[in-house]
Amino acid sequence: MIESLISFSIATLLLALSPGPDNLYVIAQSLSNGTKSGIATTIGLVSGCIVHTTLLAFGVSAIITASETFFYGLKVMGACYLLFLAYQVFRSNTQVDLKDKASKKSYLQLFKQGVIMNLVNPKILIFFLAFFPGFLWDESHNTIYQFYVLGISFMVISFIVFSGLAILAGYISSTLNENKNVSVLLKWIQIIVFVGIAVFILIP
């Protein structure tokens, strides 16, 4: 068990540090709205993993991915949601001061958005389905318990890494705030990230 958890933790750490849709999204939020916003987003993204873990533990993930039509429909829905978020950012006022609290989403809103972004990305289902079973330490015993142990470990490690990225990006954001024109750049960074994730979801 210990050996499997250590191997799983190392693999998860490397995955969390490698450039991907989730950590890029956290960085974009922190750059645009500060560290606390990035951490609120991180908590949302990580919380969504418990749903994927539950689907995996009870075999629902395999059923969902078995239907190509249904699975593709989920991908389209997820991509549409992300494109809608990109459109919202596009319509927002680029001249708003980044320090203006009223112009930002609340931490609860960012948390909810993080959860939804995690859940509408069906590729996470495939990732969990492909990644987790290889680290089960005893397939003859309670696999549901083992999947939850792996899922919680994945969430904790991802939270630590993503929070670190949020803190770093938030620090950079505080220095960028001195530039009045930086809001335009940060706005387009968010749009590119949202559109990029949408394309990532749709690509087979």
Q: What are the pLDDT tens digits along the chain (204 aa)?
A: 888 899 999 999 988 888 788 888 898 888 888 899 999 999 999 999 999 999 999 988 788 778 888 878 878 888 898 898 888 878 876 544 444 444 467 899 999 999 998 998 888 888 888 888 888 888 778 889 999 999 999 999 999 999 999 999 888 876 665 565 666 777 787 788 888 888 888 887
The answer to whether residue 7 is domain-embedded is yes
Alpha carbon of residue 196 to chain centroid? 13
Separation between Cα atoms, residue 103 and residue 148, nearest integer Å: 38
Which tokens is 24 given?
A: 């890029």
Answer yes or no: are the C-beta atoms of 18 and 127 closer than 8 Å: no
The answer to whether residue 168 is domain-embedded is yes
Contacts of 93 (CB under 8 A, 6+ apart): 103
The answer to whether residue 28 is domain-embedded is no
pLDDT at 13: 92
The answer to whether residue 20 is domain-embedded is no
The answer to whether residue 94 is domain-embedded is yes
The answer to whether residue 22 is domain-embedded is no
Give the domain extent around 43. Answer: 2-15+33-202
pLDDT at 100: 46
Q: State the residue for tokens 């395999």.
A: 62
Answer yes or no: are the C-beta atoms of 48 and 119 closer than 8 Å: yes
The domain total for the chain is 1
The answer to whether residue 21 is domain-embedded is no
Backbone angles phi, psi at 181, to 5 degrees: -90, 0
CB atoms within 10 A of CB 1: 10
Separation between Cα atoms, residue 183 and residue 37, nearest integer Å: 16
